[in-house]
Amino acid sequence: MPNHVHLILKPINDYQLTRIMKGIKGVSSNKINKYKNFKRQIWQDESFDRIIRDEKEFNEKLQYMYNNPIRGGLAENTWDYVGWFLNEELL
């Protein structure tokens, strides 16, 4: 999506979600700013995290993410959307 991102993460070891998100936001901000020749804030300070408690909720969130580029008019098929990635080994 051009103005937001959805992620489903499973932290490993003792990494806290705040540390993971700080790393993702920091690296991607640096790369975007370098690519676009910007020097500006890319991400908002907050994130809206949620613990997925069971398989039903996981499937609901995954389906929502899958349909998001189609609902946004960015793709007719999510698998053709350049921003879509799914590591099927984790399913």
Total domains in the fold of the chain: 2
Residue 2 maps to a domain: no
Average pLDDT value for residue range 73-80: 93
- Residue 68, pLDDT score: 94
HSE-up of residue 87 (Cα within 13 Å, Cβ side) = 6
- Residue 4, pLDDT score: 85
Same domain for 63 and 80, yes or no, is: yes
- Residue 12, pLDDT score: 85
pLDDT in tens, 26-72: 999 999 999 999 999 999 888 888 889 999 999 999 999 999 999 99
Alpha-carbon span 9 to 26, nearest angstrom: 17
Asked whether 6 and 68 are in contact (CB, 8 A), the reply is: yes
Same domain for 60 and 91, yes or no, is: yes
- Residue 44, pLDDT score: 86
Alpha-carbon span 43 to 3, nearest angstrom: 9
Tally of helices (H runs) and strands (E runs) in the chain: 2, 0
Asked whether 38 and 32 are in contact (CB, 8 A), the reply is: yes
Residue 69 maps to a domain: yes
Asked whether 52 and 8 are in contact (CB, 8 A), the reply is: yes
Residue 91 maps to a domain: yes
pLDDT in tens, 2-27: 788 899 988 888 888 888 989 999 99
